[in-house]
Structure 1
Amino acid sequence: MDFNFLSGVLTSSWNLLLSLVDIAIVAYLIYRILGLISGTRAEQLLRGLLLLLVFSVLASYLNLAMVTWLVEKLWIVFAITLPIVFQPELRRFLEQIGRGSFFSGHHLQWNPEAMHNVLAEVSSAAGILSRNRMGALMILTRETGIGEHAASGVLVDGAVTSSLLINIFWPNTPLHDGAVVISAGRLERAACFLPLSDNPNLSLHLGTRHRAGLGITEVSDALAVIVSEESGQISLAREGDLLACSDENHLRQVLELEFIQKPNWGESLRRRWFRQYESSTKAKKDRA
């Protein structure tokens, strides 16, 4: 037996395996980063950088000395300014790496027994507030802390009940302005002021309450339950996306998908959200 030949085959196979692993890791990192910046300002910036890269390669290939020099200076400017301009996106990226969800894609799931009643109370309060056209903003935290934003509110540290939530958001009460923060199954704070989303793609019809709910979900993994004062519409914000819930039952189903039920592999939460919405809408049409 030719041991040199066998050694060469084994070495080639090992190198091929390493190359495949290398490609798989890079592909997964690109996939996760693209998912992270999807729907944010960074997505538009990435398109601009790709165009600039193509332009830079063409300028170099065509020996356009002045254009090449200008593009090189632009890369230096971008390298300095990007960490400043896109600080929220970078922070979110590093936080996901720190808590491990960047690689796993999973979020913390609260204890089912402890959370079942909390989600029911939140959904019930949202339904009552919606029917009475009372605005509300309820933040449910998960792994990423929002202490710097919650600190702006009033400490409550009470059990989560629909009656307490309704009393807080009742018009002209001392705590009705701002958001309530629910953390670890407790109503932690009320009257909190949150960062507003500056996403240029948001509808002009969205008011401050919706922008605040979206804003906090852009810088953390929290969920925001929003009730419109004008229309009574119940919405749920997650990672900068907004889902319109058909009623309080629909809201409760989506919240339970997020906090209690285990996600199915290969199916994104966003897809499940809209599948729930479509099923709910179809059911209402069938009843009509």
Structure 2
Amino acid sequence: MPFADLWKYLASIVDIAVVWFVIYKIINLIKGTKAVQLLKGIIVILVVRVLSDFLGLRTLSWIMQQCINWGFLAVIIIFQPELRRALEQLGRGRFYLRSSNQENEDQEKMVEAILKSTDYMAKRRIGALISIERETGMSDYIETGIQLNSKISSELLINIFIPNTPLHDGAVIIQKNTISAAACYLPLSESPFISKELGTRHRAALGISEVTDSITIVVSEETGSISLTKNGELHRDLKADAFKEILSNELLINIKPKQASSARWNWRGRKNG
């Protein structure tokens, strides 16, 4: 194969790979945000545009074409703050993902803060509900609470759930190692197999685990026990070692998931409020 043809072939592969990488980055950037709804709207407009041409609907086709022509400018105006932030990150060289070591370090700090705060609250029977976003976006639930966008720390988590404070009632949602919001409303599970002994916090934790891949932690204010939900399953009355092991297996990058020896997913047990 001549060098010129080989170069064109390789250039085409690189071109396609770069385009897919950019698309992948854009999807990651907007995942779990309101921009997803905007993307759906753009897709609808494009589909209607094609169908109107195919069916000969000239007026509708013209309207859709105007939406496309002016839509790009509208997107720039609407998402000006987000675009500016992305360009600033690109100028600082932070557009690409951080190294796995840095990300894992942040995850370790988050796990440590959760372990320390839940241990403190469990000993004093302070009720708490903490949900950690993973792949599935939780922006809809974040919008129901009070925006914080704060660095995670055990002191802040404890302070949020102190009884009779403005933010203690509801869930804290952690997004990208940051406390995004507090006093959030989570959907309650309607499963008929849930023990009637479980309170609202546990039902909310199960409910969010049924519709997202989040990990949610519950501290019972009645017994001080710690429970955890994921994938629609409830792990109750966790001991400190088992709780730490599950969090580490699920959240830390460099630790391979393994089955906790003391893990038993069940619906029965002591009453947890």
TM-score (norm: length of structure 2): 0.57
Quick check: 1:213–1:226 contact (8 Å CA) kept in 2? Answer: yes
What is the CA–CA distance in structure 2 between the aligned matches of 1:198 and 1:228, rounded to whole Å?
20
Hey, what does 1:207 align to over in structure 2? 199
Hey, what does 2:142 align to over in structure 1? 150
Hey, what does 2:234 align to over in structure 1? 242
**1:49-82 Cα distance to aligned partner (Å, 9 max, x none):** xxxxxxxxxxxxxxxxxxxxxxxxxxxxxxxxxx
What is the CA–CA distance in structure 2 between the aligned matches of 1:124 and 1:174, rounded to whole Å?
22
Quick check: 1:123–1:249 contact (8 Å CA) kept in 2? Answer: no
Hey, what does 1:226 align to over in structure 2? 218
Give SS of 2:209's match: helix
**1:105-144 Cα distance to aligned partner (Å, 9 max, x none):** xxxxx93111001101001111110000110000011010
The ranges of structure 1 where at least 4 consecutive aligned residues each deviate by more than 6 angstroms after the TM superposition are none
Hey, what does 1:4 align to over in structure 2? none
- Shift of the alpha carbon at 1:262? 4.5
Quick check: 1:218–1:240 contact (8 Å CA) kept in 2? Answer: yes
Give SS of 2:119's match: helix
Unaligned runs of 5+ residues in structure 2 are 1-101, 265-273
Residues 247 and 124 from structure 1, CA distance in 2 versus in 1: closer, same or farther, beyond 3 angstroms? farther
Give SS of 2:149's match: strand
Whether 1:170 aligns to 2:162 is: yes
- Shift of the alpha carbon at 1:277? 3.7
Quick check: 1:245–1:251 contact (8 Å CA) kept in 2? Answer: no
Quick check: 2:160–2:168 contact (8 Å CA) kept in 1? Answer: yes
Whether 1:191 aligns to 2:160 is: no
Residues 160 and 248 from structure 1, CA distance in 2 versus in 1: closer, same or farther, beyond 3 angstroms? farther
Whether 1:115 aligns to 2:140 is: no
- Shift of the alpha carbon at 1:245? 4.6
What is the CA–CA distance in structure 1 between the aligned matches of 2:237 and 2:193, rounded to whole Å?
20
Hey, what does 1:29 align to over in structure 2? none
What is the CA–CA distance in structure 1 between the aligned matches of 2:239 and 2:165, rounded to whole Å?
25
Equivalent position amino acid for 1:244 in 2: R
How many residues align structurally? 164
Give SS of 1:152's match: coil
RMSD: 2.1
What is the CA–CA distance in structure 1 between the aligned matches of 2:193 and 2:237, rounded to whole Å?
20
What is the CA–CA distance in structure 1 between the aligned matches of 2:198 and 2:262, rounded to whole Å?
23
What is the CA–CA distance in structure 1 between the aligned matches of 2:111 and 2:255, rounded to whole Å?
16
Quick check: 1:127–1:247 contact (8 Å CA) kept in 2? Answer: no
Give SS of 2:217's match: strand
What is the CA–CA distance in structure 1 between the aligned matches of 2:247 and 2:256, rounded to whole Å?
12
Give SS of 2:236's match: strand
- Shift of the alpha carbon at 1:240? 1.0
Equivalent position amino acid for 2:182 in 1: A
Whether 1:160 aligns to 2:152 is: yes
Hey, what does 1:89 align to over in structure 2? none
Quick check: 1:142–1:222 contact (8 Å CA) kept in 2? Answer: yes
TM-score (norm: length of structure 1): 0.54
Unaligned runs of 5+ residues in structure 1 are 1-109, 279-288
What is the CA–CA distance in structure 2 between the aligned matches of 1:153 and 1:249, rounded to whole Å?
31
Give SS of 1:111's match: helix
Quick check: 2:248–2:255 contact (8 Å CA) kept in 1? Answer: no
What is the CA–CA distance in structure 1 between the aligned matches of 2:154 and 2:238, rounded to whole Å?
19
Quick check: 2:173–2:181 contact (8 Å CA) kept in 1? Answer: yes
Residues 161 and 249 from structure 1, CA distance in 2 versus in 1: closer, same or farther, beyond 3 angstroms? farther
Any residues of structure 2 matched to 1:34-49 within 5 Å, and which?
A: none
Equivalent position amino acid for 1:176 in 2: H
